[in-house]
Amino acid sequence: MPAMRPSRPIGILGYGAYIPRYRLQASEVARVWHGGQDHVPIAQKAVAGPDEDAITMAVEAARNALARAGIAGERLQAVWVGSESHPYAVKPSSTIVAEALGAGPLALAADVEFACKAGSEALQMAVALVGSGMADCALAIGADTAQGRPADELEYTAGSGAAAFVVGLADEAVALLEGSVSYVSDTPDFFRRGQEHYPRHGGRFTGEPGYFAHVLAAGRELLSSLGRSPADYAYVVLHQPNPKFPARAAAELGFRPEQWQPGLLVDRIGNTYAASSLLGLTAVLDRAEPGERVFFVSFGSGAGSDALSLVVTEKLPLRRHQAPATASYIARQQLLDYATYARFRGKIAL
């Protein structure tokens, strides 16, 4: 099966990140639940403030993407928001986001759900819409305020963040899309039933049959169908539920640490779910030079991966300073104690 390619040249016109101000250190979770004795997977995670949710974070990331694209929201013909923490069970986040950006009313809008792959699935939808010639400009967002059950190992890493991408025609793009592969299968590695507040993970399914099977298959398929090797890429960005999985998968695909380290943010902001791999991509676009290639593979439980190959254009250095760098959001941080964190995220039922 060949890689999917757009029927006309397209790319990313603008990208934007958002990471909330608050941080919860893993050592603080270990102190409360494990007497400080647990082995912690990361240093800290980003936590949304009490007035933030997937919608507010999506809006800020999208405004940054529009600023870099240099276009007004009214140019958007589609607004797709991928998340597993949409504030409403019934009522789209995407119409609120579109209204806040000044997009529509003549526009497509929908919420996308696919665990941590929801944002890259939205990106694939935008690529398809613009690549087919049905529209000239589409917005894809991944945004999550992920929650782990208190004391569960997910609580160390389940973080908050958002990333947004404006997809449009190649002549205005900061990075061109060369091709993509999507790969899915029915895998019970992680799930949350409709009325449940916290998700469950399917034990032995999380590593090999989940993350590694899908990331490696999608990544290998894209490399072989494009006739490329890892050495053709300056950067590789993978979904990052913890620091170990993406490093091991990237190494198995044949990449080197200097290719994956710039886009590996999980140790400082946690697993931001639908935004996780996309935020890594924003961090890489903040530093990539014209002509450099970026290899991207997301992963969402349930399960699936989207792999994309991008090449940076000469427009990127001119436009990246039109919005805050991902590193500035990472640097802006206020530590929380566990009690304040529990209050912010509604973990105490009154």
Partner 1 sequence: MALQLPREWRWRQERYRLIGGRCRRCGQAFFPHREICPRCLGEDVAKEQFSGRGRVYSYATVYKAPVGFEEYVPYVVALVQLEEGALVAAQLTDVDPTEVQIGMPVECVLRRWRTNGPDGNIIYGYKFRPRLES
Residues of the shown chain interacting with partner 1 in the complex, contacts defined by CB under 8 A = 21, 49-53, 55-56, 59-60, 87-88, 91, 96, 99-100, 102, 321-325, 328-329, 332, 343
Does the annotation mark 116 as catalytic? yes
Query: Least distance from C-beta 286 to partner 1, angstroms?
Result: 11
Q: Which is nearer to partner 1, 43 or 325 (CB)?
A: 325
Q: Name the active-site residue from 60, 84, 155, 178.
A: 84
Q: Which amino acid is at 220?
A: R
Q: Quote the CA–CA distance of 180 and 317 in Å, as a whole number.
A: 24
Query: Least distance from C-beta 211 to partner 1, angstroms?
Result: 33
Q: Quote the CA–CA distance of 229 and 144 in Å, as a whole number.
A: 33
Q: Which is nearer to partner 1, 19 or 128 (CB)?
A: 19
Look at residues 90, 95, 64, 60 and name the one whose alpha carbon lies nearest to residue 80.
95
Backbone angles phi, psi at 168, to 5 degrees: -155, -165
Query: Least distance from C-beta 78 to partner 1, angstroms?
Result: 19
- Spell out the residues 6+ positions from residue 195 whose beta carbon is closer than 8 angstroms to its own: none
Q: Which is nearer to partner 1, 87 or 133 (CB)?
A: 87
**93-101 vs 54-69: helix axis angle to the nearest 10?**
40
Q: Which is nearer to partner 1, 22 or 299 (CB)?
A: 22
CB distance 31 to 193 below 8 Å: no
Q: Which is nearer to partner 1, 231 or 349 (CB)?
A: 349
Query: Least distance from C-beta 350 to partner 1, angstroms?
Result: 10
Does the annotation mark 137 as catalytic? no
Q: Name the active-site residue from 52, 116, 201, 214.
A: 116
Backbone angles phi, psi at 175, to 5 degrees: -150, 135
Question: What is the sign of the dihedral through the CA atoms of 272, 275, 278 and 284?
Answer: negative
Query: Least distance from C-beta 333 to partner 1, angstroms?
Result: 11
Q: Quote the CA–CA distance of 240 and 269 in Å, as a whole number.
A: 10
- Spell out the residues 6+ positions from residue 63 whose beta carbon is closer than 8 angstroms to its own: 16, 101, 323
Q: Which is nearer to partner 1, 194 or 203 (CB)?
A: 194
Q: What is the 3-state secondary structure (H, E, C) of 32-63?
A: HHHCCCCCCCCCEEEECCCCCCHHHHHHHHHH
Query: Least distance from C-beta 324 to partner 1, angstroms?
Result: 4
Q: Which amino acid is at 342?
A: A
Q: Quote the CA–CA distance of 95 and 192 in Å, as a whole number.
A: 25
Look at residues 215, 125, 219, 184 and name the one whose alpha carbon lies nearest to residue 303.
184
Tell me the chain's radius of gyration from C-alpha atoms.
19
Q: Which is nearer to partner 1, 89 or 231 (CB)?
A: 89
Look at residues 325, 342, 280, 322 and name the one whose alpha carbon lies nearest to residue 22.
342
Q: Name the active-site residue from 86, 201, 214, 239.
A: 239
Query: Least distance from C-beta 94 to partner 1, angstroms?
Result: 14
Q: Which residues are catalytic?
A: 84, 116, 239
